[in-house]
């Protein structure tokens, strides 16, 4: 779990993620899950919205 204090103005971090992100509230209860499938859906929606077409993301997937 990463917890950033309120008084921190800037942080540089490198994450090597091998699974889903599970976002939690201050009590530790899960509030959202983001995985490779939701990231891909977001990328496709973005490429579609900027006129490149959703399939623009396909070459990045093996």
Whether residue 18 is contained in a domain is answered as: no
pLDDT value at 2 more than 80: no
Mean pLDDT of 15-30: 91
Q: What are the tokens at 24?
A: 């939690």
What number is the average pLDDT over the span 1-8?
Answer: 84
pTM of the full predicted structure? Answer: 0.63
Whether residue 24 is contained in a domain is answered as no
Confidence of residue 56 (pLDDT cuts 50, 70, 90): very high
Query: pLDDT-derived band of residue 49, with 50, 70 and 90 as boundaries?
Result: very high
DSSP per position, 34-54: E-HHHHHHHHHHHHHHTTS-G
Q: How far is CA 39 from CA 21, 31, 57, in A?
A: 11, 17, 11
**Structural domain includes residue 48:** yes
pLDDT given for residue 62 in this prediction: 84
Whose tokens are 């496709």? That residue is: 44
Answer whether residue 8 is part of any domain.
no
**Over 90: is that where the pLDDT of 13 sits?**
no
Evaluate whether residue 49 is within a structural domain. Answer: yes
């Amino acid at each position: 779990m990463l917890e950033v204090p309120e008084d921190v103005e800037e942080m540089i971090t490198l994450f090597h993620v091998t699974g889903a992100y599970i976002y939690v509230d201050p009590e530790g209860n899960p509030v959202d899950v983001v995985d490779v499938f939701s990231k891909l859906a977001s990328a496709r929606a973005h490429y579609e919205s900027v006129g490149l077409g959703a399939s623009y993301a396909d070459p990045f997937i093996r």
